[in-house]
Amino acid sequence: MLDACSLEVRLAAGGALAIAHERACGDDERFAWAEDELLPKLEQLARDSHKFRAKRDRKVQRATFRDILKYFEEGSVESERMRVGGDTVTLCSWSTRIAYGALAAALGAGLNALAPHCAPLRLALRLSPHPALDVIMPQAKLNKLQRHLQNTAACKARTVARNKSRDKRSAALSL
């Protein structure tokens, strides 16, 4: 499947290999993998430069297979943090990466809207069972006068800071 014509099939096969290795081996070194046969193929996919593939496809394939190759060589997965609603999901294994990718692809923009309210979704993303209160009940909207006063204060602070930095530049230029 790693030799398939379709990019999605190659990426799915690489992700499946990483998850299978993660589940089978984990911390247990008793399981032996035929990594001598697998690593050259992963290296080839991580450095693919065939011009008949689309530029975007080559870029996505190389990035994904570099991560997979790094996992097989070093045994570590680069941790990613994603904002979902008001919470942060930490993707620290291949299984969580694939699960998040599938949920994000299926739900799209609805992922952020559903995360604070849907308990099964929170469980799948390994979030705490109870969302933060400020996500459930957003703060009251400021009226027009309050927004105007807040923006005026911010503008004044920016102007003062900008004028201070201008003074420093003019003093430095005169020397």
- Output DSSP code: residue 1: -
Query: Are the C-beta atoms of 82 and 88 separated by less than 8 Å?
Result: yes
Q: Which of 53, 45, 54 has its CA nearest to residue 12?
A: 45
Query: Are the C-beta atoms of 77 and 94 separated by less than 8 Å?
Result: yes
Q: Give SS3 for 27.
A: coil
Q: What is the pTM of this model?
A: 0.63
Q: What is the CA radius of gyration of the chain?
A: 25
**pLDDT tens, per residue, the chain with 175 residues:** 887 888 889 889 998 988 888 888 766 666 666 677 788 888 888 888 777 888 888 888 888 888 888 888 887 788 889 888 778 888 888 888 888 888 889 988 888 888 888 888 888 888 887 765 555 555 678 899 999 999 999 999 999 999 888 877 656 655 5
Kindly tell me the burial class for residue 61, based on how many C-beta atoms sit within 10 Å of its own C-beta (0-12, 13-18, 19 or more): buried
Q: Give SS3 for 36.
A: helix
- Give pLDDT, residue 160: 93
**Beta-bridge partner residues of 169:** none
CA distance 70 to 61: 14
Q: Give SS3 for 79.
A: coil
